[in-house]
């Protein structure tokens, strides 16, 4: 749960954007079908970080929106 709490913070969201960019770069560097698939997958972390979503949160009973999850942990 600490990991999910961290990933819902502004720093965690920035980290997702940076890691997504690295995954996209790696996919493009690898090339081929596998690299293309990796690059496409790499768009998910930045999109969720920019939009403030954490798709794993609902699996553990937390809100999908990062701001709502942060409010939960301060109560």
Domains of the chain by residue range: 2-74
What region, left, alpha or beta, does residue 31 occupy, with left being phi > 0 and alpha being psi -120 to 50 degrees? left
> Structure tokens of 4?
């999910």
> For the whole prediction, is pTM greater than 0.85?
no
- Tell me the per-residue pLDDT of 6-51, one tens digit each, with 9 for 90 and over: 888 889 889 999 999 999 999 999 999 999 999 999 999 999 888 8
Spatial separation of the C-alpha atoms in residues 15 and 52, rounded to whole Å: 12
């Amino acid at each position: 749960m600490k990991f999910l709490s961290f990933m819902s913070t502004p720093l965690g969201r920035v980290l997702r954007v940076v890691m997504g960019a690295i995954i996209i770069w790696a996919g493009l560097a690898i090339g081929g079908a596998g690299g293309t698939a990796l690059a496409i997958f790499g768009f998910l972390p930045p999109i969720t970080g920019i939009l403030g979503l954490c798709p794993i949160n609902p699996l553990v009973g937390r809100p999908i929106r990062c701001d709502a999850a942060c409010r939960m942990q301060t109560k």
